[in-house]
Structure 1
């Protein structure tokens, strides 16, 4: 497991870009998600994207929507799924889990 952040350092409804091109997202409900920090549509950073109910992020450039849980596109022009990485929260910290084989 790789430690990513302290839970208390990231407010619900905010994002934190990481050094490896990933984006840690705390959705409006307070759940954590780890995605690639680029829109699958054109590669734009999602760090300033809008977070919506039901764990959805909106690209700030063309306003496509993706589900943070599954990576599935939710609204055009989003057509390609985004990569979602598994995370867990333990002892007040957020960790990246190894990818399933």
Structure 2
């Protein structure tokens, strides 16, 4: 498993997202209501960055291009035009630093 440093926890405000490079694809890390989530950064419907999407307090993010919504916790596609879920990744907080854990096969 690869552990990727994202940022210090206090550098990511509630309701914000940041994009980091993963071993094979970019990953979007979100902070919503104090919780941290990580998803594949590319919308499963089109070539849009989810880190630039519209983050909702209900734990969802809306694609900035086509208005597809995804659950931050599970990656599930919640409405059309997206039908495929986004891959999720565990987020770890260590001594105030945020990390995303990527399985070697990802």
**Do both proteins adopt the same fold according to a TM-score greater than 0.5, normalized to the shorter chain?**
yes
Structure 1 runs (4+) greater than 4 angstroms displaced: none
For structure 1, the residue ranges without an aligned partner over 5 or more in a row are none
The one of 5, 8, 18 aligned to 2:7 = 5
Residues 70 and 52 (structure 1 numbering): CA distance in 2 closer, same or farther, change over 3 Å?
same
For structure 2, the residue ranges without an aligned partner over 5 or more in a row are none
* Cα RMSD, aligned residues only: 1.8
* 3-state SS of paired residue (2:10): helix
CA contact (8 A) 1:86 1:99 kept: no
User: What TM-score, normalized to structure 1?
Assistant: 0.87
Q: What is the aligned partner in structure 1 of residue 27 from structure 2?
A: 22
User: What TM-score, normalized to structure 2?
Assistant: 0.83
Report the CA distance between 1:19 and its aligned residue.
2.8
